[in-house]
Chain A
Amino acid sequence: MTKERIQALLESAFPDAAELRVIDRGGDDHFEVRVTAPAFNGLSPVAAHKLIYAALDEPWADGSIHELRINTKGTTT
């Protein structure tokens, strides 16, 4: 199932995440991810989301993800 795959990919990309949630928004190809991790500290939203896209490159490329809402936070501020 794609949700578990996304979860696993994000966990390996952000092993020190304080929060990491994958929410199925329907159809097993619409998802929302919420990640709070030190990797996002000091990054612009664009740069932070690009890290998420990079981590999920595979499921994007093979069409497993059709739509993704992204919410990223750093661990400072």
Chain B
Amino acid sequence: MTYSERIQEIIDGADVALFMKGTPEAIMCGNSERALGALRRARAPITAVDVLVDMEIREDLSAISGWPTIPQVFIKGELVGGADIVEDLERSGELEKTLLERLGDDYWSTRAESVVTVAEEGARR
């Protein structure tokens, strides 16, 4: 499986995918922290992916999403935005509304935060 295939698999499979610099336990960038904070406050079931593991991951992700910067948040396979948009959506109440619409009324009951990696199981470029 290539990086691109693995990235697509994560985007398609996760309810909420957060591509970030570092992990929720060891955040390496203020903007990733902003996006993570907004998602946590909205009680989103976050699947986090560290893009710093390999520079190619970031390049392949941006090629897929058409979005040049990190973090990137996907809800049910659709790019929602980076830190600015996710914070704006939180402020306007749209973030919770979107989560309710796409994940269902009890989306927070499965609130498990997990970290997955792109470069596992022999994934290569």
Q: Which residues from chain A sit less than 8 Å from chain B, CB to CB?
A: 45-46, 49-50, 53, 60, 67-71
**Chain B contacts to A: CB under 8 angstroms:** 31, 66-69, 79-82, 84-85, 88-89
Residues on A with beta carbons closer than 8 Å to the beta carbon of B81? 45-46, 49
Taking a contact as CB atoms under 8 Å apart, the answer to whether B80 and A46 are in contact is yes
Query: From residue B84, how far is it (CB to closest CB) to chain A in Å?
Result: 5
- The reply to whether A50 and B84 form a contact with Cβ atoms under 8 Å apart is no
Report chain A residues within 8 Å CB of B31. 67
Q: Separation in Å of the B51 CB from the closest CB of chain A?
A: 16
11 other A-B residue contacts (CB within 8 Å) besides A45-B85, A50-B67, A53-B69: A45-B81, A45-B89, A46-B67, A46-B79, A46-B80, A46-B85, A50-B66, A53-B67, A68-B69, A69-B84, A71-B84
Q: Chain A residues near B82 (CB, 8 Å)?
A: 49
A16 → chain B, closest Cβ, in Å?
23
Contact B68 A60 (CB under 8 A): yes
Q: Complex: how many Å from CA A70 to CA B31?
A: 12
Of B66, B79, B84, B89, the residue contacting A70 (CB under 8 A) is B84
- Shortest C-beta distance, A72 to chain B (Å), equals 9
Smallest beta-carbon distance A65→chain B, Å: 10
Query: Is B88 touching A45 in the complex (CB atoms < 8 A)?
Result: yes
